Amino acid sequence: DLNHFYIGKNLFPRLSEDAGGYENIDAAGYQILLNYRDPSGFAKQVTLTEVLEGKVDPNWIKDRLVIIGTTARSVHPGFYTPYSGSSKYPQRIAPVYIHAQVASQIISTVLSDRHLIWYLPNWAEAVWVWGWSIVGGVLAWHLRYPLRLGLAGSVSLGSLVGVCYLLFLQGAWLPVIPPAVTLVLSGVSVMAYSTYQTQQQTKIIVLQVEKQKEAIEQLNTLLKETTRIYDKHVHSGATVDNTEKATGDFILGGRYQINKVLGSGGFGCTYLAKDNQRPGNPICVVKQLMPARRDTRFMQVARRLFDAEAEILEVLGKHNQIPELLAYFEENNEFYLVQEYISGHALSEELPPHHNIKTESEVIEMLKGILEVLAFVHEHRVIHRDIKPSNIIRCDTDNRLVLIDFGAVKMMQPQSSEQTELATVAIGTRGYAPPEQFAGHPRLSSDIYALGMIAIQAITGIPPHELHPHPETGTVEWRYGVKISHKLAEILDKMVRYHFSDRYQSAAEVLQDLQKIE
């Protein structure tokens, strides 16, 4: 091959004008990249006078390559090399030493398999650079939080530098700065886009939450009216018996074939259904929500509450720990939500009295799993209002914890004999919901209280409603006889403080303190 230079089987690749980090260089002739050796002790230097006077040891030149040349700067000022920046060596090296470096490289490559410097073609360099930009984008998309992204970005940059250094020891000349810049820029760009997207989603949700509050207040007013109008004829005529729905013959909305009743209550029923209009007829969950009354005023307010709830679930369902909202519709004056089916079991089956008391590490892991999704929910300014073990599902496929039953629409439910007047004013479950929530003023920290009570139940074995508050502070007393580290006990105490202002104000704060324990 006339275009390539071989010695034996060793190819000395010809330098191109854009090789490695070069751009449009003069690559005329047959040039190769020179892998310089350390100049110190590289070769013995003797003067011509020493040779003529016989002061040169013959063993120095026996079976060696001898290069004769001048080192006088008056003849040639010398060349800059990779060692020019070191104070240990002269800034310029005489041409005769460059010749010696070239000869040494050729000989050692053929006889000792010493690495030649190699580099990637342009297309491979582009893949290398863009690959690291994808890493930055993926990290930003999945981590989302600036602190975590900063840590992951630092690790990624360190990995990039480490990989390039290790490959450089093997003769590879790979770009470092371009992929580092694209890694950072793509991470920052995706984070900025994600933040913008979250802000836009939050604006939508805040608007829907305001609609929720307004609708809830109107429902409370209507429910408290002395004259209660229940259109029992319409109620009984429009609702199909659950037995009929469980036969598999009943179809809702023209597409959802009801297979099984999962649960029922004053607010309506939850069904397992098959979607006949999607490929493969996947299983989904259909929630039927029956308004307490069917008069025009009540239905108008209930409809607004239902639509607001559906809009919120549409956004929140994008998180992999919240069931995706597939559809929502109204039929026969009843409201229906269709959500992704999560195959698994309720967290209540893992907690006492159904299961043994959990260890401290298990409680921390459980808390972290729920706090991850709770941080996302709170980031959108949404309060779940009914966090309890039965509303948390352990997914069979990947063991993740999924938060279900966002229930502001439960305000439409009729009052049952077991409910107090307070329970119709606010949503929540006794023992898990904090005082301000039952007073009708839930906050983000109300969800943190409920989660703290779940953790206390897991580690003590005592149901929350059986715990007694401290007579002075009002905070539940639970630490007596419990073997638990002081740090975790302090975190749980702060989660369940009586006054909402004394608790953690965000799920992210709790996560940070849990990380400190580890």
Note the pLDDT of residue 381. 81
Q: Are 277 and 292 in contact (CB under 8 A)?
A: no
Name the percent of the chain lying above pLDDT 70: 88
Task: Indicate the residue among 193, 212, 238 that finishes a domain.
Answer: 193
Q: Are residues 260 and 114 in the same domain?
A: no
Report the helix count and the strand count for the chain, using DSSP H and E: 14, 11
Note the pLDDT of residue 510. 95
Task: Indicate the residue among 341, 365, 383 that finishes a domain.
Answer: 341
* Residue 355 pLDDT greater than 60, yes or no: yes
d(CA 325, CA 517): 36
Question: Mean pLDDT, to the nearest integer, of 123-137?
Answer: 93
Q: Are residues 353 and 482 in the same domain?
A: yes
* Residue 135 pLDDT greater than 90, yes or no: yes
Q: Are residues 446 and 357 in the same domain?
A: yes
- The per-residue pLDDT for range 270-304, each reduced to its tens digit, is 899 999 999 999 999 998 877 767 778 878 887 88
Angle at 380 between CA 377 and CA 382, to 5 degrees: 60
Q: Are residues 358 and 486 in the same domain?
A: yes
Note the pLDDT of residue 246. 56
* Residue 143 pLDDT greater than 90, yes or no: no
d(CA 180, CA 70): 44
Instruction: For the chain, give percent helix, strand, coil, nearest 5.
Output: 45, 10, 40
- The per-residue pLDDT for range 457-499, each reduced to its tens digit, is 999 999 998 998 888 888 899 988 788 999 999 999 999 999 9
CA nearest 172: which of 235, 113, 111, 115?
115
d(CA 183, CA 161): 12
146 lies in some domain: yes
Note the pLDDT of residue 225. 61
* Helix 360-379 / helix 444-460 crossing angle, nearest 10 deg: 170
Question: Mean pLDDT, to the nearest integer, of 173-188?
Answer: 93
Q: Are residues 253 and 360 in the same domain?
A: no
* Residue 112 pLDDT greater than 90, yes or no: no
Q: Are residues 258 and 310 in the same domain?
A: yes
Note the pLDDT of residue 161. 94
198 lies in some domain: no
Q: Are residues 108 and 147 in the same domain?
A: no
194: Cα within 13 Å, side-chain hemisphere: 19
Lowest mean pLDDT segment, chosen from 367-371, 391-395, 423-427: 423-427
* Residue 185 pLDDT greater than 90, yes or no: yes
The total of structural domains in the chain comes to 4
Q: Are 274 and 256 in contact (CB under 8 A)?
A: yes
458 lies in some domain: yes
* Residue 230 pLDDT greater than 70, yes or no: no
Domain of 333: which CATH number?
3.30.200.20
Domain of 476: which CATH number?
1.10.510.10
What order do you get walking across the sheet with 334-340 strand by strand?
Answer: 251-252, 256-265, 268-275, 283-289, 334-340, 325-331
Q: Are residues 240 and 293 in the same domain?
A: yes
Note the pLDDT of residue 228. 43
* Residue 236 pLDDT greater than 60, yes or no: no
Q: Are residues 89 and 143 in the same domain?
A: no
Residue 368: other Cβ atoms inside 10 A: 15
- The per-residue pLDDT for range 316-345, each reduced to its tens digit, is 898 999 999 999 998 888 889 999 999 999
d(CA 272, CA 284): 6
203 lies in some domain: no
* Residue 244 pLDDT greater than 80, yes or no: no
Average pLDDT, the chain: 83
Residue 26: other Cβ atoms inside 10 A: 9
Phi, psi of 381 (to 5 degrees): 65, 35
Q: Hey, what are 349's tokens? A: 């089956």
Lowest mean pLDDT segment, chosen from 100-104, 211-215, 306-310, 351-355: 211-215
Domain boundaries, position 168: 122-193
Note the pLDDT of residue 109. 86
Band (513; pLDDT cuts 50, 70, 90): very high
pLDDT greater at residue 238 or residue 7: 7
Band (178; pLDDT cuts 50, 70, 90): very high
Q: Are residues 273 and 329 in the same domain?
A: yes
Q: Are residues 268 and 305 in the same domain?
A: yes
Q: Indicate which residues carry an active-site annotation.
A: 386
Note the pLDDT of residue 166. 93
Residue 404 gets which letter from DSSP?
-
Note the pLDDT of residue 440. 78
Angle at 166 between CA 164 and CA 172, to 5 degrees: 65
Question: Mean pLDDT, to the nearest integer, of 246-264?
Answer: 81
220 lies in some domain: no
Lowest mean pLDDT segment, chosen from 165-169, 366-370, 455-459: 165-169
Q: H or E segment at 474?
A: none
478 lies in some domain: yes
208 lies in some domain: no
158 lies in some domain: yes
Q: Are residues 508 and 380 in the same domain?
A: yes
Name the percent of the chain lying above pLDDT 90: 34
Task: Indicate the residue among 341, 370, 391 that finishes a domain.
Answer: 341
pLDDT greater at residue 454 or residue 54: 454
- The per-residue pLDDT for range 382-424, each reduced to its tens digit, is 888 889 999 999 999 999 999 998 765 444 444 443 433 333 3
Instruction: List 285's β-bridge partners, or say none.
Output: 272, 339
* Residue 356 pLDDT greater than 50, yes or no: yes
What's the pTM value of the predicted model, to 2 decimals? Answer: 0.62
Note the pLDDT of residue 497. 94
Note the pLDDT of residue 257. 92
